[in-house]
Chain A
Amino acid sequence: MKIGILVNEGPFTHQASDSAYHFTKAALEKGHQVLRVFFYYDGVNNANKLSAPQADDRNLVNLWSELAGEHGVDLVVCVAAALRRGIKEDILADGFRISGLGQLIELGMAADRTVVFGD
């Protein structure tokens, strides 16, 4: 199945990004195709490479980057939401790119299912 993922909340402050990460990983391991993970609202904070959680906790930003490295998942951050929150190219973690909301609508059009994580 072709799956689209939308992440609407920031890492560490809300479980949504953990759930989205585990869902995406599980879907890939089951052989599904994840067309794109799109980050919106505070979800754009998942791309901030300046995040430095305590050493004994999971680092979601790194986990996303690893997933992109291993599976070639397209991680897209909404430009308007990102700029509003200070997320720019130079603090973007590996595997993320910044683009417009059109890429979310296009994802909804292309995916068999679009799964949304957040309140």
Chain B
Amino acid sequence: MAEQDFDTEGVKKHFMFVNRKAPYGTIYALEVLEMILISAAFEQHAVIAFMDDGVFQIQKGQDTAATGMKNFSKTYGVVEMEKEDADEDEDIDMVWRIVVEQESMAARGLTPDDLVIDVEMLPSAELADLMADQDVVFSG
């Protein structure tokens, strides 16, 4: 309809994707992952955060066979690869961080060793500060 082209040439913003929900109870987790994957093409800075039951999304050993649902925890390996590429390749001008909230992990008896990808663990107050520093926050 009123489609317009935006001039985003050279725009570099800070995006945060906040995962707060358990992986399979609702579709939010999967659809946040889809947002993250698409965003990579735009070379924006991004923080991918997990808190509350969202930390379960990247727990090791998920087996969804009995539910018939797709186990998408493996796809977070792709997100981690995007982050590592951005860290290592000087031609990619973006910084990605993957963070988990310390309190959410502790409340669920999880440690970083229980997760399928490498993460930074941040206390709630630091995560709040980081969130306040973002330009755009999308959550699910």
Contact = CB atoms under 8 A, between A and B. Distances in A.
Given A40-B31, A110-B11, A116-B138, A72 B2 contact: yes
Nearest to B4: A74
B10 to A, nearest CB: 10
Interface string B98-140: 0000000000000000000000000000000000000111111
A101 B1 contact: no
B63 interface: no
Interface string A23-49: 000000000000110001100000000
B28 interface: yes
B27 A41 contact: yes
Contacts of B41: 102, 105
Contacts of A95: 1
22 contacts: A8-B140, A41-B140, A74-B2, A74-B4, A80-B34, A81-B31, A97-B1, A101-B34, A101-B35, A101-B39, A102-B38, A104-B38, A105-B38, A105-B39, A105-B41, A105-B42, A106-B42, A108-B135, A109-B6, A109-B8, A110-B8, A116-B139
A41 B135 CA distance: 21
Given A40-B31, A41-B28, A74-B1, A110 B38 contact: no
Interface of B: 1-4, 6-8, 11, 13, 15, 27-28, 31, 34-35, 38-39, 41-42, 44, 135-140
Interface residues of A, number: 29
Interface string A67-101: 01000111100001100100000000001110011
A107 interface: yes
B8 A97 contact: no
A102 B31 contact: no
A114 interface: yes
A16 interface: no
B1 A100 contact: no
A73 B4 CA distance: 10
B75 to A, nearest CB: 14
A96 to B, nearest CB: 7
B34 A106 contact: no
B44 A74 contact: no
A80 B32 CA distance: 12
B3 A97 contact: yes
B8 A72 contact: no
